[in-house]
Structures are given as C-alpha cells and as structure tokens.
Structure 1
Amino acid sequence: MIKIATYNVENLFDLKKSGYEYKEYIPNTVSQWNQKTYDIKIKHTAKVIKDIGADIIALQEIESLEALKDLKNRLKRDGLYYQYYAIADAKNTTVKVALLSKYKILYKKETPINATFRYRNILEAKLDIDGEPLYIFVNHWKSKGGKENERVLCAKKLYQRIEEIGFNNNIIALGDFNSDYEENKRLNKWHNNTNGITGINNILHTDELTTKASTALTCKDCLYNLWYDTAEGNRYTYKFKKRKEALDNIIVTPYLLKNKNFHYISGSISHFTTDYHVVKGKINRWQMSRKKPKKHLGKGYSDHLPLTAEFLVK
C-alpha cells in the first residue's frame, strides 16, 4: 500500500530577494520574514508532512528549488526521507508546484498554460511504482480572483496532455484546482463567464456521469474525482467565511479503479486533520498581524488541509 497526498503549504518563500515576492515576503524587512520566521515555517510545514506520512506528496506554493530543498532536508532530519523531488521552475512565477517522492522519478516536464505570469505551469512526473508506471500531474490553477475561463484554460491543457498519454494508463491529477468537485453547481454569477462551463467538471469530464466509480468505468474519456468516494460532509480542505470548500482534489483515470496490479483503495480518500492544524473548528493557517504593516508572527501552518488517498500495489 502506498499513500499519495497533496498539500498547499501557503507561501513557502525563500530568503532570496527575486523581485517577484509578495510585499509581506520580501526578506529582512519590517514584515519580519527573516531567518527565524522562515525556519519556523519550514519546521511547521515539515511537521504536517511527516504526520501525513505519504510516500508521494504534491506541494503547492513553493517559491523555489532552494525552499523545496530546505523542506526536504528538514524532513530528513525529522526522520522522513524523500530521495526524489521535482519542481516546476521553468517559469519564474511567484509560487510554484513541486513533488516529493520515495519512488523513482523517471522524468519530469512542465505543461505551460500560456506565456504570461498569470498562470503556473503544471508539473508532470512519471514514476516507477514497483514496476508499474505512474503519471502524476501537480496542479495549481488560477485562483478565484479570476473568472472561470482562466480555470477552463488550465483544464484544457491538462486534459490534452492526459489524452496524449492515454486513458488506459495510471494517471493521477492532483493539487489545488481552486475548484469544487461540483463547481458546475456552485459557479456564481461573477465567476461565470463561460455559460456555465467549468474546467473541473466539463473539460476534465468529472461531471454527473462519473459521480460513481461504476459509471466512471464505463466512460472511455472521463476522469474520476475521488471526493465522490467519501461522505459529502467530509469533502473539504478549505474554509471561506465558515463555508467548507473542496479546492484541492485528487482525480484519476478510471483505469486506476480496475488495474489489478496497482489500484485505488476504495474509501481511502480523506482530508488530513490534526489537533494543531484545526483548532476550535478553524484551520490554523500561517498567521500575520492584522495591523499594517503586516508582520509574520511565527505561528500556524497553512490555510489548506492536506488531502490523501491510498493505493494498493501488488
């Protein structure tokens, strides 16, 4: 059995001034993003990842390879060693997606959405899982600050690449899609500039036809969102004004539901919570002072909960 996870760590910036940082993350300024607070952020992020104990974990909002390596080294110090790693750093965006793995990464490549800095590249990695090939796509789609056509564009690029590989393969697309598993039912008027078409449901074909594993298996070009394999009340990794949202998703080719040698374990999809990450019903995010200029307090973890799923390898 292997555990695969995704986790938006919330702004893990390094201490090098690149010119692309958010104002509060310019190092060694009044915001107090410095060696002390950086070390705490690394320590806290590593604690969550260690407690998850995943064999493969996709990460979002990593600024650089240096930050990823610092996190990897801290995890090794804490007793969790990921021998293999990759980051989508071909484009100098503010935050990037990355991957840590105990299994060998055979190659990594990036799928650009377009040339602008509004979009983060999708990270593609092919892994060797005890002889079984696994394709992983780490996503961080455009935030809800943008309208749905921007997430549709991300979905089209992802789906096109999955089509090229072929649906009769072990493929997992995961990460922060900034989309609910039923975005087509929640799409509000402000976001809807696509006549109701959503990236996650309509473009990736995770719509009403594939809400059950049994029906997903009959579709040749559909994908299956593992959120449908748990109780509706458990389907969230984020809270906005007390409203539970499932912005993070793990989506698979139906082939992973039937492959005898390597398949998803039914009922294993779950958001990951601890008594330190969720306090009094609230997600204990990385904390900053409310008064301006905002300052890092050296407390908290992330505004997202991790999401995990388990797979059986024979």
Structure 2
Amino acid sequence: MKIATYNVENLFDMNDDGNEYEEYIPNGTWGWDEAMYRTKLRHTATVIQGIGADIIGLQEIESESALKDLKAELNRQGIYYPYYAFARGKNSTVNTALLSRYPIQSALKIPVSYNRRYRDILDAKVNINGTFLHVFVNHWKSKSGPESERILSAKRLMLRLDELPANEPFVLIGDFNSHFEEYRTFLKSRKHNDTEGITGINHILKTIDTDGNPVTYTSLQNHSGYLYNLWYDLPEEKRWSHRYKGHGEGLDNIIISPALADDQGLEYVQGSFARYDPPYLFQKGKVFRWQQSRKYPKHHLGEGYSDHLPIYAVFEIKP
C-alpha cells in the first residue's frame, strides 16, 4: 500500500465565494476561466496518476467542489478513488484533503485557530483490510511568518495524537512548511527564530531526541515517545521537495509513529520512501511549477504543475 502527499499549488474552482487570491478570481483579469481550470485539473490528475498511491493527502485545494472535479478528472484518466475527505477551515482560502482506495471510517477536521490564516488539520481514520490507520494531513503556516505560528499547529496536532489509544498506528503527512531539520536551518534567521531555537516539527513532534539528534528508524523502535521522519531514508542530496532561492527544502514530510516500526501489523517498508520526480516535472533544471506571466497584464499560461514535488512511502500488513 502506497501513501503519498502532494501540494498541488492552488487548485481553485470556478465559484466566486470571495476568499480567492486575486489571480484565481473566476473570469477575472488573470484569465482564470473554465478552460484554464480544466487544464489545471488535467495536469494535477496526471501527476497523481503517475504517483500511483492508494492513499494521497493533498494541500491547496480550495473547496470540496474542486476536489470532486479532480476525482472526476482522475476517473477520466482511469484512476479511481472511491473515498475522500476534505477539511475546510472557517473562511480559509486553501485547504487539505485526502483521496483513498480504502474505506475512510471517520474524518475529523482539527481547527488550529479561528484565525483564517491557519488551515485545519485533517484526521482521517482509514480501514486497511481490517487494520485502522490514522492519516493526518497537514498544511502549516507558511514561512512568511515566524516559527511560533507553526508551533501552534504542532501543539494542536500533538493534543490530538495524545488522545489516540496506545500503539494505534498513525502517519503525519503534508506540507509542514518546515524543513525536516528545521532546528538546524532556522537558527540564524531573525525572521523565523522567535522561539529560542524550538521548532514545531522537531521539538514538539519529537523527531529529534533529548540530546538533539535526529530520531532514527532503530531508535523509533526502542522509544515509544518519538516519531521518525522518512526523509532520512534518502541520500542527503535527494532530501528536498521544494526549492527556495536555489536551495532545496524538505517542506513536505511523511512522519511515522512507533507502531509502524514494531514488526507487527501495519508496517512501514523500510527504504521505500521516495520523491516522485519524473523529468516532466522539471523545466530548465527547476521544478516546473504552474506558470504565470511575468509581464503585464499578468495572466495564467496554462503550463506547469506545482512548486512542490510529491513524496510517498510503502506500507504492508505483517501477520
């Protein structure tokens, strides 16, 4: 069973509900019209088809309507996800979603804050041949703000994790807007480090130990309080899914619980974590994001995919 996550970069529908970014106002000056929308749907579905995931978390989906249109486009391309879940925060612009080939037993949206800048976390309990797995789809606050804003999401997520029964398996996926080693990369940034070196993804979610070292797959098996970030399964040069000013960042993450590494029941297949990075997702050596003109009048060009690369991992059920 393959689980993936993909920030699709602004999939907006054709309904004008007043929360859109300027460039995605239906039939506005940027040219976001029905034809452009259908192009974006086709491109997004092509990537999802290529990933071939059984369960995929999505970020930057405007509405349930857009999610259903994406499902319909996937159907046209021969890819079927019978089950879905969607989490929309109050007046939020973009949201999180989940597509699944396995039944979704329940789905909750976890509000981080009543401020519209914070996107709800989606908690979907998926029935995988009689074994239940909680899949948490995240899209934390962007790095336009300091680390304290992402810590708010991390703490809210931990409150929910603490409510789960002991040893119930869960996986955290999504765009955390946090490098998997944020505790190292943000230290000298005055804009981001307003927390005296404490990070949401590393300290609050406990992907580093008390000595400040990254949790390994082996240490995860021996310490129930930690979580393991799958980026460490890849060589260092491949540990990125997004580029900012030429530097690779692992902002998209898949983080597993100890129950997925205890050699029984549902298990992570060690070494299966990967980045989906076929040549068509790149142009001139850069990630081929959705294209908009640089010259006035600015408009959508109908080319490209997303500014993020998808990532995925494989799991299996052991006797």
**Bin of the TM-score, shorter chain as denominator length:** over 0.9
Cα distance in 2, alignment partners of residues 62 and 174 from structure 1: 15
Cα distance in 1, alignment partners of residues 30 and 78 from structure 2: 32
Match of residue 311, structure 2, among 302, 307, 313: 307
Q: Given that residues 145 and 191 in structure 2 are in contact (C-alpha distance below 8 angstroms), is that contact kept between their aligned partners in structure 1? A: no
What TM-score, normalized to structure 1?
0.97
Q: Given that residues 89 and 116 in structure 2 are in contact (C-alpha distance below 8 angstroms), is that contact kept between their aligned partners in structure 1? A: no
Larger mean CA deviation between 44-53 and 208-217 belongs to 208-217
- Equivalent residues in 2 for 1:142-291 (5 A)? 142-187=141-186, 188-207=189-208, 208-291=212-295
- Equivalent residues in 2 for 1:85-104 (5 A)? 85-104=84-103
Q: CA deviation at 1:211?
A: 2.8
Q: Given that residues 167 and 221 in structure 1 are in contact (C-alpha distance below 8 angstroms), is that contact kept between their aligned partners in structure 2? A: no
What TM-score, normalized to structure 2?
0.96
> What one-letter code is carried by the residue in structure 1 that aligns with 2:93?
T
Q: Given that residues 135 and 172 in structure 2 are in contact (C-alpha distance below 8 angstroms), is that contact kept between their aligned partners in structure 1? A: yes
Q: Given that residues 276 and 311 in structure 2 are in contact (C-alpha distance below 8 angstroms), is that contact kept between their aligned partners in structure 1? A: yes
Cα distance in 2, alignment partners of residues 288 and 205 from structure 1: 39
User: Cα distance 1:167–1:141, how it changes in 2: closer, same or farther (>3 A)?
Assistant: farther
Q: CA deviation at 1:292?
A: 3.2
Residue 35 of structure 1 corresponds to 34
Residue 124 of structure 2 corresponds to 125
Q: Given that residues 108 and 124 in structure 1 are in contact (C-alpha distance below 8 angstroms), is that contact kept between their aligned partners in structure 2? A: yes
5+ long unaligned stretches in structure 2: none
What is the aligned-residue RMSD (CA, Å)?
Answer: 1.1
Q: Given that residues 227 and 235 in structure 1 are in contact (C-alpha distance below 8 angstroms), is that contact kept between their aligned partners in structure 2? A: yes
Q: Given that residues 263 and 312 in structure 1 are in contact (C-alpha distance below 8 angstroms), is that contact kept between their aligned partners in structure 2? A: yes
The superposition leaves residues 115-148 of structure 1 with CA deviations (integer Å, 9 ceiling, x where unpaired) of 1101000000001011111001000000000100
Q: Given that residues 271 and 307 in structure 1 are in contact (C-alpha distance below 8 angstroms), is that contact kept between their aligned partners in structure 2? A: yes
5+ long unaligned stretches in structure 1: none
Q: CA deviation at 1:40?
A: 0.3
Larger mean CA deviation between 117-126 and 160-169 belongs to 160-169
Q: CA deviation at 1:251?
A: 0.6
Percentage of identical aligned residues = 51
The DSSP-based 3-state class of the residue aligned with 1:273 is coil
Residue 73 of structure 1 corresponds to 72
> What one-letter code is carried by the residue in structure 2 that aligns with 1:289?
S
> What one-letter code is carried by the residue in structure 2 that aligns with 1:124?
D
The superposition leaves residues 68-100 of structure 1 with CA deviations (integer Å, 9 ceiling, x where unpaired) of 000001101111100000100252310000000
